[in-house]
């Protein structure tokens, strides 16, 4: 195994009714709260009203309208609210976009640097305001990790960045709040969870502890995502997806493994240029990337995936077994309603060279399991058309 650090100090409060403990988790940080949320889903489900009631003894400011694929302008707006009002703690209520934007606000509010400079060079982040979250969408794992992804539409950049200071102090995970997530976002969230697991699972030789955990999590998503898409009110499916999303990207699955995140690097280009849903882009890319990297050096990991996750017997040629698993992966994404070509999203090949160059330059693709250069990325994107 590679050496690793594993220290995830987010207090998770999981299950029905945990939101009632909001005052208890916020109080240690102070009385002035910035409440952040998105385009209104928390109002429609009644969560906003309950949160405001629970915050009755706090002074509350609000930043609403945070976009999916959150933009740097929202970070600036939140930073201003924090500075002008001496905010003590940020409470993010929403999906990954709201949480990511709030992380960037938390960091920018404690720095003399411009917020976009911190996104580009997170080593400059020295501290951040404390952040607590109430999660409403199972997908990103942002509720228990140090990452954030911010988009700058002017420069056509969507950049992920990490810093320990941005780790949420506490996150409330009540699957009830995900019952209202529409089918397309449920499916995209499932694809995102799977991609977080696969980006690490498919790197370096088989590692029994993290890869065994990853296989269990993948089986959970393959089993419960179709149920949640079909039956949005199915609480059991929602709770399984919610906990899988958190564990998929809190560092547990990557202990001792190498990682390079090629599909994420390429997908962030698609989102930056075309503002598509992150998980949808990942679902389209993943099987095509798998076929591209399948070779003598990687085939055994694909066979392990085929046998341990899909139950495919290893009784044929290794490449045939691997390809059956890749086909099953693609069929799965299609079966939960994800449009599986870029053409269906009205994306053509016009910007592929530019996107590929940027993905290679900023995505660290030369260190991936199978190193990818610009031509390789263009080829993978063409397979997605």
Interface residue list for ligand NZQ (CB under 6 A): 38-41, 68-69, 94-98, 100, 136-137, 139-142, 145, 147-149, 177-178, 180-181, 185, 189, 192, 249, 264, 278-279
Q: Of these partners, Zn ion, ligand NZQ, none, which one is at the site of residue 193 (CB under 5 to 8 Å by kind)?
A: none
Cα 70 to Cα 29, 41, 88, 277: the distances in Å are 25, 16, 22, 12
Instruction: List alpha helices for the chain, DSSP H.
Output: 22-26, 41-44, 47-54, 72-85, 96-108, 115-120, 183-201, 208-230, 235-248, 262-274, 278-293, 299-310, 318-335, 352-363, 374-383
With b for 16 or more beta-carbon neighbours within 10 A and e for fewer, the 282-293 pattern comes to bbbbbbbbbebb
Q: Please report how close the Cβ of residue 226 comes to Zn ion at its closest, in angstroms.
A: 20
Q: Of these partners, ligand NZQ, Zn ion, none, which one is at the site of residue 308 (CB under 5 to 8 Å by kind)?
A: none
**Partners of 131 in the beta sheet?**
90
Total count of residues recorded for the chain: 385
Identify the DSSP state of 164. Answer: G
Q: Please report how close the Cβ of residue 270 comes to Zn ion at its closest, in angstroms.
A: 12
Kindly tell me which of 47 and 312 has the beta carbon lying closer to ligand NZQ: 47
Q: Please report how close the Cβ of residue 109 comes to Zn ion at its closest, in angstroms.
A: 25
Q: Please report how close the Cβ of residue 358 comes to ligand NZQ at its closest, in angstroms.
A: 15
Q: Residue 4 class from Cβ within 10 Å (0-12 exposed, 13-18 middle, 19+ buried)? A: exposed
Restricting to residues 167-196, name those near Zn ion by CB under 5 A: 192
Q: Please report how close the Cβ of residue 79 comes to ligand NZQ at its closest, in angstroms.
A: 18
Q: Please report how close the Cβ of residue 353 comes to ligand NZQ at its closest, in angstroms.
A: 23
Kindly tell me which of 149 and 303 has the beta carbon lying closer to ligand NZQ: 149
Distance CA 340, CA 338 (A): 6
Kindly tell me which of 98 and 356 has the beta carbon lying closer to ligand NZQ: 98
Q: Of these partners, Zn ion, ligand NZQ, none, which one is at the site of residue 323 (CB under 5 to 8 Å by kind)?
A: none
Q: How far is CA 159 from the centre of its chain?
A: 13
- Backbone dihedral angles phi then psi of residue 96, each to the nearest 5 degrees: -60, -35
**Which two structure tokens, joined as six digits, stand for 381?**
């994107």
Q: Please report how close the Cβ of residue 283 comes to ligand NZQ at its closest, in angstroms.
A: 12
Q: Please report how close the Cβ of residue 14 comes to Zn ion at its closest, in angstroms.
A: 21
Identify the DSSP state of 366. Answer: G
Kindly tell me which of 172 and 294 has the beta carbon lying closer to ligand NZQ: 172
Strands 32-36, 89-94: parallel, antiparallel or unpaired by DSSP? parallel
Kindly tell me which of 232 and 353 has the beta carbon lying closer to ligand NZQ: 232
- Residue 199 interacts with Zn ion (CB under 5 A): yes or no: no
Interface with Zn ion (CB under 5 A), residue total 1
Q: Please report how close the Cβ of residue 278 comes to Zn ion at its closest, in angstroms.
A: 6
- Residue 100 interacts with Zn ion (CB under 5 A): yes or no: no
Strands 147-152, 157-162: parallel, antiparallel or unpaired by DSSP? antiparallel
For residue 105, count other CB atoms closer than 10 A to its CB. 33
Kindly tell me which of 240 and 245 has the beta carbon lying closer to Zn ion: 245
Q: Residue 366 class from Cβ within 10 Å (0-12 exposed, 13-18 middle, 19+ buried)? A: exposed
Kindly tell me which of 245 and 308 has the beta carbon lying closer to ligand NZQ: 245
Phi/psi-derived region of residue 305, left when phi > 0, alpha when psi is between -120 and 50, beta in every other case = alpha
Q: Of these partners, ligand NZQ, Zn ion, none, which one is at the site of residue 137 (CB under 5 to 8 Å by kind)?
A: ligand NZQ
- Residue 143 interacts with Zn ion (CB under 5 A): yes or no: no
Kindly tell me which of 130 and 189 has the beta carbon lying closer to ligand NZQ: 189
Kindly tell me which of 260 and 294 has the beta carbon lying closer to ligand NZQ: 260
Identify the DSSP state of 57. Answer: T
Listed in sequence order, the residues at least 6 apart from 334 whose beta carbon sits closer than 8 Å to its beta carbon are 340
Kindly tell me which of 306 and 365 has the beta carbon lying closer to ligand NZQ: 365
Q: Of these partners, Zn ion, ligand NZQ, none, which one is at the site of residue 94 (CB under 5 to 8 Å by kind)?
A: ligand NZQ
Q: Of these partners, ligand NZQ, Zn ion, none, which one is at the site of residue 185 (CB under 5 to 8 Å by kind)?
A: ligand NZQ
Residue nearest to Zn ion (CB): 192
Q: Please report how close the Cβ of residue 136 comes to ligand NZQ at its closest, in angstroms.
A: 4
Asked if 193 contacts 221 with a C-beta cutoff of 8 angstroms, the reply is yes
**Which two structure tokens, joined as six digits, stand for 26?**
């916020």
Q: Using CB under 5 A as the criterion, which residues of the chain lie in contact with Zn ion when the complex forms?
A: 192
């Amino acid at each position: 195994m590679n050496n690793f650090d594993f220290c995830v100090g987010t207090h998770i409060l999981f299950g029905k009714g945990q939101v009632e403990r909001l005052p208890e988790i916020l109080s240690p940080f102070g009385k002035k709260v910035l409440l952040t949320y998105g385009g209104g889903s928390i109002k429609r489900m009644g969560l906003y009203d309950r949160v405001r009631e629970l915050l009755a003894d706090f002074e509350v400011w609000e930043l609403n309208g945070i976009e999916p694929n959150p933009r740097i302008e929202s970070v600036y707006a939140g930073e201003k609210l924090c500075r002008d009002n001496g905010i003590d703690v940020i409470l993010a209520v929403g999906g990954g976009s709201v949480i990511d934007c709030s992380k960037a606000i938390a960091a920018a509010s404690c720095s003399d640097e411009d917020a976009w400079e911190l996104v580009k060079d997170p080593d400059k982040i020295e501290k951040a305001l404390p952040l607590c979250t109430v999660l409403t969408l199972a997908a990103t794992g942002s509720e228990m990790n140090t990452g954030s992804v911010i988009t700058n539409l002017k420069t056509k950049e969507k950049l992920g960045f990490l810093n320990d200071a941005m780790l949420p102090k506490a996150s409330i995970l009540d699957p009830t709040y995900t019952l209202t997530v529409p089918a397309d976002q449920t499916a995209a969230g499932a694809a995102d969870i799977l991609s977080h697991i696969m980006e690490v699972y498919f790197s370096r030789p088989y590692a029994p502890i993290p890869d065994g955990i990853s296989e269990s999590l993948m089986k959970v998503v393959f089993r419960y995502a179709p149920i949640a898409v079909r039956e949005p009110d199915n609480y059991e499916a929602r709770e399984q997806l919610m906990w899988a999303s958190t564990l998929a990207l809190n560092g547990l699955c990557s202990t001792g493994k190498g990682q390079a995140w090629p599909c994420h690097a390429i997908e962030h280009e698609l989102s930056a240029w075309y503002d598509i849903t992150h998980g949808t882009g990942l679902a389209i890319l993943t099987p095509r990337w798998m076929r591209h990297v399948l070779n003598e050096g990687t085939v055994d990991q694909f066979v392990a995936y085929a046998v341990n996750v899909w139950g495919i017997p290893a009784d044929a040629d290794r490449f045939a077994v691997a390809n059956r698993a890749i086909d099953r992966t693609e069929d799965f994404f299609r079966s939960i309603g994800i449009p599986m070509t870029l053409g269906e999203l009205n994306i053509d090949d016009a910007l592929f060279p530019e996107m590929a160059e940027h993905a290679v330059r900023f995505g660290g693709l030369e260190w991936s399991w199978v190193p990818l250069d610009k031509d390789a990325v263009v080829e993978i994107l063409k397979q997605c058309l």
